[in-house]
Amino acid sequence: MSLSIEPMKFCHVDAVSEIEKKVYPTPWTKFAFINEIIDNGFASYYVALYNKEVVGYAGIWVVLEEAHITTLAVSPKWQGKGIGKALLQHLINEADSKGAVRMTLEVRVSNLKAQELYKKFGFVVCGRRPKYYRDEDALIMWLEKLPVRKLALEHIN
């Protein structure tokens, strides 16, 4: 079986919310996701599906020539299988197709796994936001030049 990445729909929000609660200490609400996919014209959100099960999700805002990754998460039982990498590549490809030339994100200082993933794609730390998260600072990372290599989606065994 292979992984597919599709636009997030209302029917995916419950599964996305469950992953959100498992992965983040201060999770977004269902309403926040619904608002993003229905009412935010700058936003694009995607789900990673394996056998129709939502195993991860990610989102970006594209405003003029800049893309901002708003979220990226993989269900704990599916981590380490290339899903985060596939989602990140999908966001980069989408941002490029929408005319973005650079991309940014915030990541928890303690989230070394995510930082390593972003660095593999060329993101560099350019600053710090004190108490960006209620309990922790965030690193600001930038990818200064899109597009980045385009990878095929990985197959999950």
Catalytic residues: 106, 118
Crossing angle for the helix pair 112-120 and 83-97, nearest 10 degrees? 50
Q: In whole angstroms, what is the distance from residue 11 CA to residue 17 CA?
A: 11
DSSP state of 85: H
Strand order of the β-sheet with 124-133 is 4-7, 43-50, 53-63, 66-74, 102-108, 136-143, 124-133
Q: In whole angstroms, what is the distance from residue 147 CA to residue 142 CA?
A: 13
Question: 107 pairs with which residues across the strands?
Answer: 139
Cβ atoms of residues 37 and 9 within 8 Å: yes
